[in-house]
Structure 1
Amino acid sequence: MSAQQFTISQRFFFDAAHTLRREIDAEGSRRIHGHTYHAEVAVRGSLDAATGMVIDLGLLREHLQAVRERLDHHLLDDVPGLGIPTLENLCLFIAHALADMRPPPTQVRIWRDALGDACTLELGA
């Protein structure tokens, strides 16, 4: 029988501005505008026998806070390594920023409650 696998997740939010070149809502999107973004990062793994945890949530929060500081109250167009500030690229940016974490993220989700938009990135099983 294989070891039980648990998924642990933590959420954070950040406020940021951006511009975007789009075909629809083009004029408003090209102007600098902002959103409150919500993010959730999940990790999957088995229990560590010594700690009884997949990951210490305090450690996960520290990693997420470091990512949050790179995004919160910034113009996303200017964030190094982000690229075009889409929901998809925000998911990738967060996943790449946390790639060295153990266990690594298995899912990154970004959403904007005010607009009902969301994007989920599923990472290696």
Structure 2
Amino acid sequence: MQIFKKFTFEAAHHLAANVEAGHPYSRLHGHSFSAEIYFSGNPDKKTGWVIDFALIEQHIEDIKKDLDHGYLNDLEGLSNPTLENIAIWIWERLYKVSTKVSKVVVMRGSCGEGCIYEGP
């Protein structure tokens, strides 16, 4: 069984390290990102939950404090903040608190782009 939680964040970044000079992504720009975090497992016999949504919300708020209205390139582990690396970055933080995390989806809705990461 899978459960999921969605959240959004606004952030700026640039990808100058991995694109040619003059590429549009080499300049500082921002996006409205959305993310979906999935957790897999069997519901606990006592609580009926795969995982407590209150616990999920607490950890997502911690992640959002770093991401929201920030400059992604300044975050440790995100010097090259592609969609792929953002998804991995989120996964690594959540996996530390719950091994039930099974999938991280990060999207730039206005661009129609996204990334799905299902772990190493």
TM-score when scaled to structure 2? 0.91
1:11 paired to 2:9: no
The residue identity in structure 2 corresponding to 1:89 is N
- Matched with 1:64 is 60
Q: Distance in 1 between matches of 2:99 and 2:50?
A: 8
Q: Is the 8 A contact 1:45 1:103 kept in 2?
A: no
Q: Is the 8 A contact 1:83 1:89 kept in 2?
A: no
**Would you identify which runs of 4 or more consecutive aligned residues in structure 1 move more than 3 Å?**
none
Shift of 1:102: 2.7
Larger Rg: 1
Task: Provide the secondary structure at the position in 1 that maps to 2:65.
Answer: helix
TM-score when scaled to structure 1? 0.87
- Matched with 1:39 is 35
**Structure 2 segments unaligned to the other structure (5+ residues):** none
Aligned-residue RMSD, C-alpha = 1.6
**Structure 1 segments unaligned to the other structure (5+ residues):** 1-5
* Cα shift readout 1:55-112 (whole Å, capped 9, x = no counterpart): 1111111111111111111111111122301000000100011112234310000001
More helix per residue: 2
